[in-house]
C-alpha cells in the first residue's frame, strides 16, 4: 500500500515554516551545545591553572594533548553511537540516553575533586557520541524525500547550534574569571538538564521519526552487540580505576600521537577498502578520489581551526590586553566571535555561491575547500604578528584575536557545509552512510592533531610562539594549494559523477 505525498497545503509548517518536530531537535541541540561548548571553553584553562587558582596545574603540552584526545574522541564515538541507534535502540532512545550520560558527566565535573575530573570527561564523550550523530539524523527524517525544505531545515538547526555556543561562552566566561570553575561546569549540567526536559516533553512532535532502528537485527546479533558494548564499558572502567589508583601511569602526549596515527590508518584503510573492494564502476571511483581530497582538506582545516579552544584560548588569557576602561573582557568571550560571525555571515556566503552559479561560475568542491583552508591559514598569519608582539613582552590588543576568528569563520563557512555536501554527492550510493562515518574521522584526526600542535605553545619559551603560528599557516596554505591544483583534474570527475547520477 502506498500513500500520496501530501501537497504543500498539508505540510506541517508549525516551526518557522518547518515541521513542529524541528523545534524539539532545535532546542535539544541548542542546550546540548550550550553544555558542550561551555565545558570545552573551560577545559584547557582549568587544566593549566595553578592549584591556588583551583586548577589542575598540568603542563600546556599534556593539557593540550588531553584536550585534543577529548574533542577527537567525541567525534570518534559518534561512529558506534550511530551504529547503536541504527541497529539496537533507534535514534530517539539513543539521544535520550546520550543526554542523560552527558548530564551525569557534567555533574561529576562540577564536583571539586581532581580524582573525578577525568571520569566526567569520559562520560561526556560517551554521551555525546550517542546524542550528536543521531539528533542530526532525525532532522532529515522529519522531511519526505522530495521536500524542498530539507536544506533550509538543516540551516535553521545549525543556527540552534550557534545560539547554544554563543550563550555558553557568554555565561561561562564571567564564572571563569571569578575562579568558579566547578560552578561553571555545573552550569553546563543545568543546560543539558534543560535540554533533556524539553526533549522529553515535546517528543510527541517528532511523529515517530527515529523511534525504531533502521536496520533489522537478529536476536543473536542483538545479544552479541550488547555483549561487546558491555565488555567495552567494563574494560574502560578497569582502565580508569587503574589510572585513579595510580597503578597505571599514562603520558597524554604519547597517547595522542598514537591515536592520531591509528585513526588516520583506519581512515586510509577504510577508504582503500571501499575503493578497491567495493565493486565500484569508473565514475564511482572518480567520485571517491575527488572526495579523498575533500577529506584531506577537512582534516587539515580542523587541525588549525580547533586551536580556538587550546592555543588561542591560552593566548587570550595570558598575552591579550583584556582591559577596556574599568572592564576586563573575560577570556572565553573571545570565542563568542566565531558564533557571532557565523550567524552574521552564513547568509552572505550561501548567497555568494548562488550568485556565482547564476553567472555560470561553479567552483568544484575541492576548490571551495582549498579556499576555506587558505582563508583559515591567513588567520594564523595574523597570529604570527600578534605573537611577535607578545614574545617581546607586550600584551596585544583584542582586535588581533577577533580578526583571526573572523578569518577562521569565513574559512569554516567556505569548507564545512561544502565538505558535507561533497560526501553526500560523491560517495557511491550504496556506501553513503559508511562514507559519512569515514568522513567524521577527519574531524577526529583534526582535533587530536590540534591538541598536539597546541602543546608546542611553551610559556617558558615565548620566542617559539610566532614560529608555531607561522608553521601552521604555511603548512595549511601548502595543503590548500595542493588540493586546488589536484582539483583541476578531479573537477572533471565531479562532472562525470553528476551526469551519471542524472
SS3 per-residue string spanning 422-465: HHHHHCCHHHHHHHHHHHHHHHHHHHHHHHHHHCCCCCCCHHHH
**Whether the predicted pLDDT of 151 surpasses 90:** no
**Whether the predicted pLDDT of 502 surpasses 90:** no
The Cα 304–Cα 404 span in angstroms is 11
**Whether the predicted pLDDT of 304 surpasses 90:** yes
**Whether the predicted pLDDT of 14 surpasses 60:** yes
Q: Please write the tens of the pLDDT for every residue from 226-268.
A: 999 999 999 999 999 998 888 888 899 999 999 999 999 999 9
**Mean pLDDT for all residues in the chain:** 87
Most confident segment among 256-270, 273-287, 434-448? 256-270
Question: Is residue 159 classed as helix, strand or coil in its secondary structure?
Answer: helix
Residue 34 · residue 167 · CB < 8 Å? yes
The Cα 124–Cα 129 span in angstroms is 8
Averaged pLDDT for residues 1-30: 72
**Whether the predicted pLDDT of 300 surpasses 50:** yes
The Cα 212–Cα 71 span in angstroms is 29
Question: Is residue 397 classed as helix, strand or coil in its secondary structure?
Answer: coil
Helix %, strand %, coil % of the chain (to 5): 80, 0, 20
Averaged pLDDT for residues 266-281: 88
Most confident segment among 139-153, 258-272, 354-368? 258-272
Averaged pLDDT for residues 153-181: 89
Q: Which residues are within 8 A (CB) of 4 and not within 5 positions of it... i.e. 6 or more apart?
A: none
Q: What is the pTM assigned to this prediction?
A: 0.88
The Cα 480–Cα 299 span in angstroms is 12
The Cα 91–Cα 141 span in angstroms is 10
What percent of the chain shows pLDDT beyond 90?
52
Nearest-CA neighbor of 449 among 290, 251, 268, 262?
262
Averaged pLDDT for residues 59-86: 91
Helix H or strand E encompassing 363: none
- Looking up cell 546524542, which residue turns up? 131
- Looking up cell 584526545, which residue turns up? 69
**Whether the predicted pLDDT of 434 surpasses 80:** no
**Whether the predicted pLDDT of 354 surpasses 80:** no
The predicted pLDDT at position 10 comes to 65
Q: Which residues are within 8 A (CB) of 88 and not within 5 positions of it... i.e. 6 or more apart?
A: 213, 217, 222, 225, 226
The predicted pLDDT at position 501 comes to 54
Q: Please write the tens of the pLDDT for every residue from 412-433.
A: 988 888 887 788 778 787 776 6
Most confident segment among 137-146, 223-232, 355-364? 223-232
Residue 310 · residue 64 · CB < 8 Å? yes
- Burial class of residue 488 (count of CB atoms within 10 Å of its CB; 0-12, 13-18, 19+): exposed
328 φ/ψ angles, rounded to the nearest 5 degrees? -105, 120
The predicted pLDDT at position 9 comes to 43
The predicted pLDDT at position 364 comes to 80
Amino acid at each position: 500500500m502506498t500513500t500520496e505525498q501530501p501537497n504543500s497545503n498539508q505540510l506541517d509548517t508549525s516551526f518557522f515554516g518547518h515541521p513542529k518536530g524541528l523545534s524539539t531537535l532545535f532546542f535539544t541541540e541548542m542546550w546540548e551545545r550550550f553544555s558542550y561548548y561551555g565545558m570545552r571553553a573551560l577545559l584547557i584553562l582549568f587544566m593549566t591553572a595553578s592549584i591556588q587558582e583551583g586548577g589542575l596545574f598540568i603542563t600546556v603540552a599534556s593539557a593540550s594533548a588531553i584536550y585534543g584526545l577529548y574533542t577527537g574522541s567525541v567525534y570518534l564515538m559518534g561512529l558506534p553511537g550511530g551504529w547503536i541507534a541504527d541497529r539496537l535502540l533507534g535514534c530517539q532512545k539513543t539521544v535520550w540516553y546520550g543526554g542523560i550520560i552527558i548530564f551525569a558527566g557534567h555533574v561529576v565535573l562540577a564536583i571539586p575533586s581532581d580524582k573525578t575530573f577525568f571520569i566526567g570527561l569520559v562520560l561526556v564523550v560517551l554521551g555525546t557520541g550517542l546524542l550528536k550523530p543521531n539528533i542530526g539524523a532525525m532532522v532529515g527524517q522529519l522531511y519526505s524525500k522530495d521536500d524542498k525544505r530539507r536544506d533550509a531545515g538543516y540551516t535553521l538547526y545549525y543556527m540552534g547550534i550557534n545560539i547554544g555556543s554563543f550563550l555558553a561562552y557568554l555565561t561561562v566566561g564571567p564564572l571563569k574569571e571569578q575562579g568558579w570553575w566547578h560552578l561553571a561546569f555545573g552550569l553546563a549540567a543545568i543546560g543539558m538538564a534543560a535540554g533533556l526536559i524539553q526533549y522529553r516533553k515535546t517528543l510527541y512532535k517528532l511523529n515517530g521519526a527515529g523511534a525504531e532502528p533502521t536496520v533489522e537485527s537478529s536476536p543473536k546479533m542483538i545479544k552479541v552487540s550488547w555483549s561487546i558494548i558491555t565488555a567495552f564499558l567494563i574494560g574502560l572502567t578497569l582502565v580508569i580505576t587503574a589510572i585513579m589508583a595510580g597503578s597505571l601511569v599514562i603520558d597524554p602526549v604519547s597517547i595522542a600521537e598514537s591515536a592520531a596515527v591509528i585513526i588516520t590508518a583506519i581512515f586510509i584503510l577504510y577508504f582503500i577498502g571501499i575503493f578497491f573492494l567495493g565493486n565500484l564502476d569508473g565514475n564511482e571511483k572518480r567520485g571517491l578520489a575527488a572526495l579523498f581530497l575533500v577529506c584531506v582538506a577537512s582534516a587539515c582545516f580542523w587541525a588549525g581551526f580547533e586551536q580556538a579552544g587550546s592555543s588561542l584560548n591560552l593566548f587570550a588569557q595570558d598575552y591579550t590586553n583584556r582591559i577596556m576602561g574599568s572592564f576586563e573582557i573575560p577570556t572565553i568571550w573571545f570565542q563568542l566571535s566565531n558564533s557571532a560571525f557565523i550567524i552574521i555571515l552564513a547568509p552572505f556566503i550561501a548567497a555568494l555561491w548562488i550568485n556565482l552559479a547564476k553567472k555560470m561560475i561553479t567552483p568544484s568542491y575541492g576548490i571551495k575547500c582549498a579556499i576555506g583552508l587558505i582563508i583559515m591559514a591567513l588567520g594564523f598569519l595574523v597570529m604570527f604578528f600578534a605573537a611577535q608582539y607578545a614574545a617581546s613582552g607586550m600584551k596585544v590588543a583584542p582586535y588581533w584575536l577577533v580578526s583571526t576568528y573572523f578569518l577562521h569563520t569565513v574559512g569554516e563557512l567556505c569548507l564545512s557545509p561544502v565538505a558535507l555536501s561533497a560526501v553526500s554527492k560523491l560517495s557511491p550510493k550504496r556506501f553513503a552512510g559508511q562514507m559519512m562515518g569515514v568522513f567524521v574521522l577527519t574531524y577526529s584526526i583534526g582535533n587530536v592533531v590540534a591538541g598536539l600542535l597546541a602543546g608546542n605553545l611553551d610559556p617558558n619559551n615565548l620566542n617559539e610562539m610566532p614560529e608555531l603560528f607561522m608553521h601552521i599557516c604555511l603548512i595549511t596554505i601548502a595543503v590548500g594549494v595542493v588540493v586546488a591544483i589536484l582539483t583541476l583534474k578531479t573537477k572533471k570527475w565531479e562532472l562525470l559523477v553528476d551526469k551519471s547520477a542524472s
